[in-house]
Amino acid sequence: MCPDFNNDFTVTSYMCFLDSLIDGAKDVRELSDAGILHNELGTDGEVAKLFNKMNTILVPSLMTYSEVKR
């Protein structure tokens, strides 16, 4: 990481926000049907599993998407 890099955690916050919407394959399908996700990983269940695992290691900025959650 570069010492002069200012990280506002926008990408990781977005990933965490998506994870808050995704619990299972049905949620992935709904987001895909709405054009929010484009799945080239495999099954919708695999995508759900990825998001649910990834969220355990991500560091979000809780304020980044706070208005969207309301």
pLDDT of 58 higher than 90: no
CA angle 41/18/65 to nearest 5° reads 150
The mean per-residue pLDDT over the stretch 4-33 comes to: 84
pLDDT band at 69 (very low <50, low <70, confident <90, very high): low
Three-state secondary structure readout of 15-52: HHHHHHHCCCHHHHHHHHHCCCCCCCCCCHHHHHHHHH
Tokens representing residue 33 in the block: 């049907």
- Domain range summary for the chain, segments of one domain joined by +: 10-62
Looking up tokens 């919708």, which residue turns up?
44
Average pLDDT, the chain: 80
**More confident: 16 or 22:** 22
Residue 59: predicted pLDDT: 63
